[in-house]
Each structure stands twice: as C-alpha cells, then as structure tokens.
C-alpha cells in the first residue's frame, strides 16, 4: 500500500551508480533532508515565516497555530507583499530577493537570505501563500504547494501583505512527527520564538493565537524597555540598567535583581536574534564577582557591529553568528556591562572619599565582625571580612603576582590526594603568586614564603592550587583566604585604613561571592524610628 503515492518516487535507480556503493540521492529525498535542517519543529517554521514578514517591512505580524503548530501554522503580515511572478518563484528552492551573488553574503542585512524557508516548509506540508502588493491594483495572488509539488496558483482576494499557511507539518515525514514533543510543548516553543522575535523588534506589533485562544498580544512599543515590560512585566523592566555604548547597548539587571535560571537572556546582533547561550559566558563573566553562586542576571543585549563584521551563514537555523577575523565581542560586552553596573555612575559610592566629598569616620567595631562608621548623615555598618575580600579581590584581579614574604615559621600544607601531583605541575604559577615551597614527605609541602596578603599561608596555598587545577577564579580564591578572619580585632587606624581602601573599590557593595557587605542607615530614618520626625 502506497501511503504517499505522489510524494515518493517509485524508482531511484537512475540516481545510483552501477557497481558502486555511493549513489546520488533522489531529489525528493535530498529535499526532505534539507528541509529537516531548516524546519525541525513548528517553532522553526514560525521563526522563518516571521523573519520573512519582518524583512517585508511588516508593522504587524499575526501568528495562528493549531495543535502546537502541527496541524496549522499561519503567519499574516502587512508588509509589501509580492507580485504573482514573485509569489510563484518564492516557493521554489533557493529563491530569494535578499542576495544575488556570493559577495552579498558578506553584507547580509536581512534576516532571511538563503531562499530556503518557504521551499523547505512546502516540502513537508500543505503550504498556501496568499499575497498582495500594495498599489498593484489587483485582488491578490495565491500559490499552493503539497509536499513540494505545485498544486494551484491564481488570483485570490487578500489585503496588502502576505499570509502563509502550513497545514499538516511533516505529513510526509512520519518519523520526524514522532520526535515532536507534546502539543503543549510545541505550543510553548512557538510562544518562546515569537517572544524572542518581538524583543528583537519593539517597533512591530506581534500577536499569537493558539487553537483560537489569544496567547500573546504585544502592540508596537516605543523602545526596548517598553517591550520588555510587555513580555516580562513592568517591575522587571523598570529596574533594569541601560547600557549606553554605541556598539553594545540594551538593558541589564542591577546587582539586587537576579534569577535562578537564564530565562531572561536575550541577544540580537545587527537586529538578528541569536542563541543567547553563545553570549552567556560573557554575561556571566561580567557578573562573576557580583552575584551569589547559582543566581543569574537579566540581560537584553543589542550588538551593532556593521554587516561586514558578522558572518551570519554559520548555522542552518541562523541562530548563531561569527565575527570576521576571529575577533570576539566578549571583552566589549563584559566591559560595557560592568561600566553600567559600577556604583560610581550614579550612586556616589565606589569613588575615593576625598573625591566624593564625604569622609568615612570609624566609630568602632562590633563583635569582631562589623565596622561601624559615619559618612555624613549616614550610619555605615560594614562586614569587615567581606570588605577585605573585595579589596584583595580587585587588587589581585588587576595583578595577581606578588613578591614572596619569608615566613617566620614555615607552614606545612597537607595535600589532598587529587591535588598532590598538581603542586609541581603548577609550581611556576604558584611561585609567581608569591609562594615558595618544597617537598615535605609524600603528600605535603613545606611553605617557606607566601604573599604578604596571606593571613593563613596554608589555606591560601591550598586555595590557589585548587583554583589553578580546576580552572576557577584565582583572585577570588586568594582573596577569600587572605582576608581578615571573623573575630579579628582591628585598631582604629586599621579600621580607618580598611574603610579608605574599601571606599575606593569599583564594586564596594558586594563581596566577590556576590553577598552584600554594607548596610546604610540615614539619620532621617533613625530619627523617624525614634519618633523625632
């Protein structure tokens, strides 16, 4: 019994080579493989069709799906539409208006450019394209394709713009259908794609319906912050910090706002929404010493690099980009985010007290853990251990190398079994950090010199070795083991010196582990507590 008699060739021998094992695939097989690279699931079809709508200058995009997009995907736009001839050519393989020569790939500014989407979707569905070019004077034009074969074309009524319907997705690829998720999972994937594209184009209205029920209604927004508010809520959007670099701009969360997952990451390069995971390491590095472990920021980044600087022809789904010449935007992303988060940009903290115009005056120490100080009309309660960590961390991050200071009494560090060989693998690196050591039995070393900042040479040595072996943040490890211990008494001069150094830190409000280290109480708040205001 032939399930798809029109779609599958009876004979493919003419594509083989007699007596050989390598044969050329029949066109219908090759087309299905190619379609599978571009259209993996209903969300892929929605992404391609919406990007085509945006390329067509749409100001409003409506998406309808049924059964998660398996039974129906419909995308309607009010863009510039197509002429009858263009409509017939658009469903053919590698037909596009975006590029003409190979050289154009180096200057791609449109979202689509390969001429694959409509042909790929039409190869695995019943596709109907209805369009009308504004000012054409005609009623419109319709083209129907069934599993890659033209079925019908002719005049049809349609408002200016284009509507593409794909019914029974993967009708001739039952195996691909079997690998799709549940209807709910596929519908959620479509919603995620529409949200991402909407964040990339705040000036366009996006509307999504699933089985006739409204899921998203995002009218055209004034700017990115308003669009973030539409998608993620006003409270998140209102608290975001603006990035002001002309190349890397957008919105990121302040230090007091973080999340347990990375769901609030969104990146667009030259207007193209790309996989945020490719920029997640740069975003994570920018917040590495500012957020607690397991917490993630929100970041809505826009990179404007110029079409000649970016290679967009990297991934079949066009979800990744590569910078030409092997250059990386990561340092620029990290630097721009950290500059925006720096307290001295607007809060007055993080700058030397003599420049800020307010002197920090130590009042005393509480329980060997906190320093109490006055700053103008504010009372400062400072976690002395966290403050010292921050001071050492920023100093070590700038220059981790240190001159060794001879110890009055050599310290002995017992090496864990997994770290014993690493002590000699990283001997040169440990020497540059200021540690001088020698073997002391089979699984221990004798430390004769250490960095002057190391309060506990043994703990600092093991922390440095562990960080080197595990590829972790060396400055953070050394700062933690080199800072003052809880319960350590400080003289008034010591408190004043620590306060002075702390106030000059780039990020004085959090320790390198992202924990808050300072509490400010204004005189007005105190008087209000006492009923004096």
**Structural domain includes residue 385:** yes
CATH number, position 70: 3.30.565.10
Q: Which pLDDT score is estimated for 351?
A: 45
pTM of the model: 0.77
Q: Which pLDDT score is estimated for 11?
A: 42
Residues 311, 246: one domain? yes
Q: Which pLDDT score is estimated for 110?
A: 47
Beta bridge partners of 451: 404
Q: Tokens 């050492």 identify what position?
A: 392
How far does Cα 480 stand from its chain's mean position?
29
**Structural domain includes residue 295:** yes
Distance CA 155, CA 244 (A): 50
CA–CA distances in Å: residue 473 to residues 211, 288, 400, 464, 484: 50, 9, 11, 9, 20
CATH number, position 498: 3.30.1540.20
Distance CA 112, CA 118 (A): 11
Q: Which pLDDT score is estimated for 101?
A: 43
Residues 191, 228: one domain? no
Residues 314, 357: one domain? no
Q: Which pLDDT score is estimated for 7?
A: 46
Q: Which pLDDT score is estimated for 178?
A: 86
Q: List Cβ neighbours of 298 (8 Å cut-off, separation of 6 or more).
A: 232, 236, 240, 251, 252, 253, 257, 259, 264, 265
Helix (H, G, I), strand (E, B) or coil at 10: coil
Q: Which pLDDT score is estimated for 28?
A: 54
**Structural domain includes residue 336:** yes
Residues 377, 394: one domain? yes
| Domain endpoint, select from 218, 238, 253 | 218
CA–CA distances in Å: residue 345 to residues 238, 341, 507, 517: 18, 8, 11, 19
- Mode of pairing for the β-strands spanning 265-269 and 299-303: parallel
Q: Which pLDDT score is estimated for 331?
A: 84
DSSP string, 291-329: S-TT-B--EEEEE---GGGEE-TTSTTS---EEGGG--S
Distance CA 352, CA 349 (A): 8
Residues 187, 278: one domain? no
Q: Which pLDDT score is estimated for 310?
A: 56
Residues 465, 368: one domain? yes
Residues 390, 462: one domain? yes
Residues 358, 458: one domain? yes
Residues 51, 189: one domain? yes
| Domain endpoint, select from 341, 364, 398 | 341
Residues 410, 491: one domain? yes
**Structural domain includes residue 263:** yes
**Number of folded domains that form the chain:** 3
CATH number, position 278: 3.30.230.10
First to last CA, the chain: 90
**Structural domain includes residue 437:** yes
| Domain endpoint, select from 341, 376, 401 | 341
Helix (H, G, I), strand (E, B) or coil at 412: strand
**Are the C-beta atoms of residues 434 and 401 closer than 8 Å to each other?**
yes
Q: Which pLDDT score is estimated for 486?
A: 56
HEC secondary structure over 151-220: EEEEECCCCCEEEEEEECCCCCCHHHHHCCCCHHHHHHHHHHHHHHHHHHCCCCEEEEEECCEEEEEECC
Cβ neighbours of 513 (radius 10 Å):
18
**Structural domain includes residue 172:** yes
Residues 259, 140: one domain? no
Q: Which pLDDT score is estimated for 38?
A: 62
**Structural domain includes residue 15:** no
Cβ neighbours of 86 (radius 10 Å):
14
> In terms of residue numbers, what domain contains 249?
224-341
Each residue's pLDDT tens digit in the chain (533 positions)?
344 444 444 344 454 555 555 554 455 554 444 444 568 899 999 999 999 999 999 999 999 999 999 999 999 999 999 989 888 888 876 555 543 444 444 444 545 444 578 888 998 999 999 999 987 777 899 999 998 888 899 999 999 999 999 999 998 888 888 889 999 999 999 999 999 999 999 999 999 999 999 999 999 999 999 999 999 999 999 999 999 888 889 999 999 999 999 999 999 888 888 888 878 888 999 999 999 989 999 999 998 876 665 554 444 444 444 555 445 678 888 999 999 998 865 444 444 444 455 789 999 999 888 999 999 999 999 999 899 889 988 888 888 888 888 998 999 999 988 888 888 889 998 998 889 999 998 789 999 998 887 778 888 898 888 888 887 788 887 887 766 555 678 889 989 999 999 999 999 999 999 999 999 999 999 899 888 87
Residues 363, 473: one domain? yes
**Structural domain includes residue 14:** no
Distance CA 135, CA 253 (A): 46
């Amino acid at each position: 019994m032939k399930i798809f008699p029109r779609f599958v060739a009876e004979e493919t021998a003419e594509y083989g080579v007699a007596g050989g094992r390598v044969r050329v695939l029949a066109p219908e097989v090759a087309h299905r493989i190619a379609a599978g690279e571009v259209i993996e699931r209903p969300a892929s079809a929605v992404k391609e069709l919406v990007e085509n709508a945006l390329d067509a200058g749409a100001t409003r995009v409506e998406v309808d799906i049924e059964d998660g997009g398996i039974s129906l995907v419909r995308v309607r736009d009010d863009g510039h539409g197509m002429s009858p001839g263009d409509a017939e050519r658009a469903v053919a393989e590698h037909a596009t208006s975006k590029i003409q020569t190979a050289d154009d790939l180096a200057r791609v500014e449109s979202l689509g450019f390969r001429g694959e989407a409509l042909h790929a979707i039409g190869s695995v569905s019943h596709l109907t394209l209805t369009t009308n070019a504004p000012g054409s004077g005609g009623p419109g034009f319709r083209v129907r394709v069934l599993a890659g074969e033209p079925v019908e074309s002719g005049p049809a009524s349609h408002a200016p713009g284009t509507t593409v319907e794909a019914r029974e997705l993967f009708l001739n690829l039952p195996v691909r259908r079997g690998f799709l998720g549940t209807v709910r999972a596929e519908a959620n994937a479509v919603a995620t794609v529409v949200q991402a594209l909407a964040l990339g184009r705040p000036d366009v209205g996006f509307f999504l319906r699933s089985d006739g029920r409204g899921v998203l209604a995002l009218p055209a927004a004034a700017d990115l912050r308003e669009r973030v508010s539409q998608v993620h809520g006003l409270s998140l959007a209102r608290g975001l910090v603006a990035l002001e670099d002309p190349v890397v701009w957008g919105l990121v969360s302040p230090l007091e706002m973080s999340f347990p997952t990375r769901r609030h990451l969104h990146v667009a390069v030259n207007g193209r929404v790309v996989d945020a995971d490719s920029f997640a390491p740069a975003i994570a590095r920018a917040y590495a010493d500012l957020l607690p472990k397991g917490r993630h920021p929100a970041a809505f980044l826009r990179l404007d690099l110029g079409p000649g600087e970016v290679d967009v022809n990297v991934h079949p789904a066009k979800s990744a980009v590569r910078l030409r010449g092997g250059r990386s935007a990561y340092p620029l992303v990290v630097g721009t985010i950290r500059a925006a988060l720096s307290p001295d940009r607007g809060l007055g903290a993080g700058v030397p007290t003599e420049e800020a115009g307010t002197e920090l005056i130590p009042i005393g120490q509480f329980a060997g853990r906190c320093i109490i100080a006055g700053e103008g009309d504010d009372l400062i309660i400072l976690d002395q251990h966290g403050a010292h960590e921050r001071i050492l961390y920023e100093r070590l991050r700038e220059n981790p190398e240190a001159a060794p200071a001879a110890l009055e009494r050599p310290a002995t560090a017992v090496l864990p079994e997994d770290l014993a060989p690493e002590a000699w693998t990283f001997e040169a690196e440990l020497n540059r950090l200021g540690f001088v050591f020698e073997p002391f039995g089979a699984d221990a070393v004798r430390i004769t010199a250490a960095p002057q900042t190391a309060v506990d040479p043994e703990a600092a040595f093991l922390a440095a070795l562990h960080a080197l072996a595990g590829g972790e943040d060396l400055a953070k490890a050394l700062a933690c083991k080199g800072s003052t211990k809880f319960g350590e008494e400080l003289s008034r001069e010591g408190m004043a010196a620590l306060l002075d150094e702390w106030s000059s830190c780039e990020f004085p409000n959090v320790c390198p582990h992202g924990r808050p280290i300072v509490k400010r109480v204004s005189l007005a708040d105190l008087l209000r507590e006492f009923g004096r205001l």
